[in-house]
């Protein structure tokens, strides 16, 4: 199968602080890669380098015709903006030259009622806002979804639903998925490969190889509990 993404010798540094060093990996089309690692390991930095939002060394090569849907971790916006979910979706539709009619399709996909989308974005709950962001990412029919901790600030049943939704979308739309997550059970269940980032040595492989108790303890510094399904 062709690769959706090839990364070779990617390095990112902020002044003298090297955050990512010589990172190389590939992601096959239609597969899911989970990125794990302790805080400060450079997970979000990696994503931002992949979308060319940060200066970096090395090469990042997306397959020709790649369209990226990006779901950022948290947004630094005011709660009282008079921008509705609908305004936000319409904006993405216009910029990605998608017919407005697609807004309805996307709202269905992410299970967000039109009445909720009509509210100002600051009035949405954490879970509703995450689903809106997912909807915005899906406008324009992306081929790749980048997901930075999709469930931060969402309660546990909400998390479960969100991951189910992402997984379903990945299968039905044939998306390639790159996912940053702290939920190791989720990673175990959904990811074909796991990339673990740490200051010492990054590792890459299928979850059953990477998510061993020894590796996890080495990576996070403490034994971590997670459950297989």
Partner 1 sequence: MQAAALALSVGMAVAAGLVGCFAVMRRMSLASDAMSHVALPGIGIALVFHFHPVIGGFAALVVGTLLVWDLERRTQISTETVIGVVFSLALAVGSMLATGDELVDALLGAPGTLGSWELALGLVGAAAVSVFVLTQRNRLVLALVSADIARTSGIRVARLELAYLIAFAVTVALGLRYLGVLLMGSLIIIPAATAKYLARSLDGMFAIAAVVAVTSTVAGELVAASVHRATGPVIIAIAAALFFASLALRRQPAAR
In the list 18, 53, 114, 224, the residue contacting partner 1 (rule: CB under 8 A) is 53
Provide DSSP, 84-98. Answer: BHHHHHHHHHHHTT-
Task: Kindly state the smallest distance separating residue 75's Cβ from partner 1, in Å.
Answer: 6
Q: Which of residues 109-138 bind partner 1 (CB under 8 A)?
A: 120-121, 123, 136-137
Q: What are phi and psi of 68, to 5 degrees?
A: -100, 135
Cα gap 79→127, rounded to integer Å: 15
Site for partner 1 in 7-36 (CB under 8 A): none
**Buried b or exposed e, range 152-190, using 16+ CB within 10 angstroms:** eebeeebbeebbebbeebbeeeebbbbbbbbbbebbbeb
Select 117 or 211, whichever has its Cβ closest to partner 1. Answer: 117
Contact 133, 71 (CB under 8 A): yes
- Rounded least distance, CB 41 to partner 1, Å: 19
Count of residues in contact with partner 1, rule CB under 8 A: 32
Query: Contact residues for partner 1 (CB under 8 A)?
Result: 48, 51-53, 68-70, 72, 75, 77-78, 80-84, 86-88, 90-92, 94-96, 120-121, 123, 136-137, 140, 146
């Amino acid at each position: 199968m062709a690769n959706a993404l090839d990364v070779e010798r990617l390095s990112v540094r902020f002044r003298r602080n090297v955050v990512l060093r010589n990172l190389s990996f590939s992601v096959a089309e239609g597969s899911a890669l989970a990125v794990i690692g302790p805080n400060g390991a450079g997970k979000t930095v990696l994503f931002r380098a992949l979308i060319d939002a940060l200066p970096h060394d090395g090469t990042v090569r997306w397959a020709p015709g790649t369209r990226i849907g990006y779901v950022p971790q948290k947004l630094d916006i005011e709660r009282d903006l008079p921008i509705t979910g609908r305004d936000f979706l319409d904006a993405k539709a216009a910029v990605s030259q998608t017919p407005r009619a697609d807004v309805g399709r996307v709202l269905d996909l992410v299970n967000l009622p039109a009445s909720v989308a009509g509210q100002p974005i600051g009035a949405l709950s954490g879970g509703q806002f995450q689903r809106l962001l997912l909807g915005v990412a899906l406008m324009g029919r992306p081929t790749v979804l980048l997901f930075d901790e999709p469930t931060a600030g969402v309660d546990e049943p909400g998390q479960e639903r969100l991951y189910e939704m992402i997984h379903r979308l990945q299968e039905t739309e044939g998306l390639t998925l790159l996912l940053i997550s702290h939920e190791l059970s989720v990673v175990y269940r959904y990811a074909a490969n796991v990339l673990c980032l740490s200051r010492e040595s990054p590792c890459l492989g299928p979850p059953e190889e990477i998510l061993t108790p020894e590796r996890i303890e080495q990576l996070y510094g403490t034994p971590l509990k997670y459950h297989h399904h």
